[in-house]
Amino acid sequence: MNWLLVIAGAVVGAPLRYLTDRAVQSRHDTAFPWGTFLVNVSGCTLLGFLSGATTAGAISSHLVLLLGTGLCGAFTTYSTFSYETLRLAESGARLQAAVNAVGIVAAGLGAAFTGAAVAQALWQ
């Protein structure tokens, strides 16, 4: 059962990242990887919310496996982020590479705190 929940989440999460990335890239003609930035930050917000809801006892562990481990895990990515940062650095855009690396970590952490705070406020 647990494995099936992770699989069901991943089946949706991975293609959703690809489609989101494509949609963002087709609208922004820039070398900065906004698509990965958007999926990672939004995934962090959702997982933060789920973590906060779990702490409050508002949702089941099954929902965390489906939406957290499966969907958010497959939706967000560290490998694409690190490769895009490397490509920026190798192409000479070192400042953009540094901004991408520090910015995505700061934004992701902020998003996780925000998601958890929203859940806490809802179920206090």
Distance set, CA 36 to CA 33, 91, 101 (Å): 6, 18, 11
- The contact mask relative to other proteins for 101-120 (x = CB under 8 A, - = no) is x--xx--xx-xxx--x----
Q: With contact defined as beta carbons under 8 Å apart, do 74 and 65 qualify?
A: no
6 binds other proteins (CB under 8 A): yes
- Residue 20 Cβ, how far from other proteins at the closest point, in Å? 10
- Residue 2 to residue 115: CA distance in whole angstroms: 24
Q: With contact defined as beta carbons under 8 Å apart, do 10 and 67 qualify?
A: no
- What the block records as the tokens of 62 is 């099954």
Q: Out of 59, 64, 66, 74, point to the residue binding other proteins (CB under 8 A).
A: 74
- Comparing CB distances to other proteins, the nearer of 46 and 59 is 46
- Residue 7 to residue 21: CA distance in whole angstroms: 21
- Comparing CB distances to other proteins, the nearer of 33 and 59 is 33
- Residue 46 to residue 73: CA distance in whole angstroms: 11
Overall residue count recorded for the chain in this entry? 124
51 binds other proteins (CB under 8 A): yes
Residues that bind other proteins (rule: CB under 8 A) add up to a total of: 65
Q: Out of 10, 53, 64, 66, point to the residue binding other proteins (CB under 8 A).
A: 10
Interface residues with other proteins (CB under 8 A)? 3, 6-7, 9-15, 17-19, 21-22, 25-26, 29, 31, 33, 35-36, 40, 43-44, 46-48, 51, 68-70, 72-89, 91-96, 101, 104-105, 108-109, 111-113, 116
